[in-house]
Amino acid sequence: MVIVVGNPANTNCLTASKSAPSIPKENFSCLTRLDHNRAKAQIALKLGVTSDDVKNVIIWGNHSSTQYPDVNHAKVKLQGKEVGVYEALKDDSWLKGEFITTVQQRGAAVIKARKLSSAMSAAKAICDHVRDIWFGTPEGEFVSMGIISDGNSYGIPDDLLYSFPVTIKDKTWKVVEGLPINDFSREKMDLTAKELAEEKETAFEFLASA
């Protein structure tokens, strides 16, 4: 398994995969678990629960400020009962606005506040990522991971390294299929795919001329 963390993580991961064609593309992944963890934490904070009480948030796309943190399919445990996040929060404008921008720009905000990078958060996220590859995801839960987009059912162009919701079993990831995507999500997912396609083109032009 090859896990890429250094930015631009998605495009670096795609470049690494292209540079090592003997290694299956499925063995490459990039870290969007840090964003995933941040999205869970923001929801937990808002509802006064722990991060562990929130599950199935999704980071779609690039590990950049165009990423789309999606909680349309996320659940939160309140008073021992699992409730949809939209239903629990009853604050659509926050979920479609400030929540998204906070997660997208969290890394920059941490650096600005601490004058240091969020290295410990990233280290924790890498551990989470590796643990799930090794031991699998819990039943009924999925996590976010940047993986090759080939053959996905969400209309994302092939041959991009894109963050999807995945379940993992026997050290093999599988994209969570069949999640309904509304127009708001569609637009955000396409926007981050467009950025990845542009990054890929720039990177490969540079490699070709190197």
Selecting among 36, 63, 73, 129, the annotated active-site residue is 63
Question: How far, CA to CA in Å, does 66 sit from each of 40, 53, 69, 74, 190?
Answer: 18, 26, 9, 20, 10
- Count other Cβ atoms within 10 Å, centred on residue 26: 13
Contact 76, 50 (CB under 8 A): no
63 in active site: yes
Q: Where are the beta strands (DSSP E) in 73-186?
A: 75-78, 81-84, 143-148, 161-169, 172-175
Active site residues: 63
